[in-house]
Amino acid sequence: MRLTAALVLTLLLAACADSSRPCPHQGKADFAPSGGCLAVVHGKILLIENLARKVSPPGGKSLQGESAQCTAHRETYEEIGLDLVPGRLLHVFDTGFHLYHCQIHAESGQIKPAVLEARRAIWLPVTDVDDVEWRFPGQGAALRTILNTPYQQLEQE
């Protein structure tokens, strides 16, 4: 029992270690209950697969006083270890979740999914948006609409 509790505590501390990076967003802050990133590179979108094997863009709940852009940055870093720079607001979901177009910071490093946050990170071809099970209703349809804008345009912003 004590060994299990110690293991769980160790995993929790490891998940929180080095999770704070300065938010790179500059400009007007949006305040929302949650925020996330949509990164498009070479015709593929960055998604996380949760422990139930459902996918979504990286993101999560805002901390008190935190902008949605900084939430998108922090949550992406915590979930998959990439340092993404939030840009233009792409979509606001019915839940208030703000999805931003994000670019990978030049010194971001490698993907390192957090054990307690994500099963794995995947690069899904934009053509396969309808071929996965989405974590939340309406995510796939919203992303399909966003990606109907030529994704090359999103990659170059």
pLDDT in tens, 57-77: 999 999 999 999 999 999 999
CA distance 33 to 15: 22
Spatial CA neighbour of 147 closest among 50, 46, 17 = 46
User: Does the reported pTM lie above 0.85?
Assistant: no
| Cα 136-142-148 angle, rounded to 5 deg | 150
CA distance 26 to 157: 15
pLDDT digits (tens, 9 = 90+) for 98-110: 999 999 887 777 7
Residues 41-47: what's their mean pLDDT? 92
Q: What is the pLDDT of residue 103?
A: 92
